[in-house]
């Protein structure tokens, strides 16, 4: 794979996360993947509900600021913006 091809899953992840598409997010991980984040870690059964709660509560949007790749290793600097102020109703 080229380095550009290796960057594609990261772009797909950001696009799916920003759209709140947890079904599409899950397709980017193998069945035995473990995901580590600020609210904990675990397999898809543990992290999908966390992704849904984060999107519902804060409408977090990710923006890729820069991305580099060497071989099959990809490094990303991103910015997470909260689109819905805390304390406001969700509806």
Contact 76, 67 (CB under 8 A): yes
- pTM exceeds 0.95 for this model: no
The per-residue pLDDT for 37 is 84
The per-residue pLDDT for 44 is 94
pLDDT, averaged per 10 consecutive residues of the chain (91 residues), comes to 91 95 94 88 93 87 95 93 66 52
Domain range list for the chain: 3-82
Contact 55, 20 (CB under 8 A): yes
Residue 70 structure tokens: 């060497």
CATH of 3-82, one of 3.40.50.620, 3.10.450.50, 3.30.365.10, 3.40.605.10: 3.10.450.50
The per-residue pLDDT for 85 is 66
């Amino acid at each position: 794979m080229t380095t550009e091809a290796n960057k594609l899953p990261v772009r797909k992840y950001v696009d799916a996360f920003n759209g709140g598409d947890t079904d599409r997010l899950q397709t980017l991980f193998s069945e035995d993947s473990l995901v580590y984040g600020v609210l904990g870690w675990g397999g898809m059964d543990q992290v999908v509900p966390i992704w849904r709660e984060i999107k519902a509560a804060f409408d977090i949007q990710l923006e890729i600021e820069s991305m580099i790749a060497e071989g099959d290793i990809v490094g990303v600097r991103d910015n997470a913006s909260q689109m819905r102020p805390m304390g406001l109703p969700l509806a």
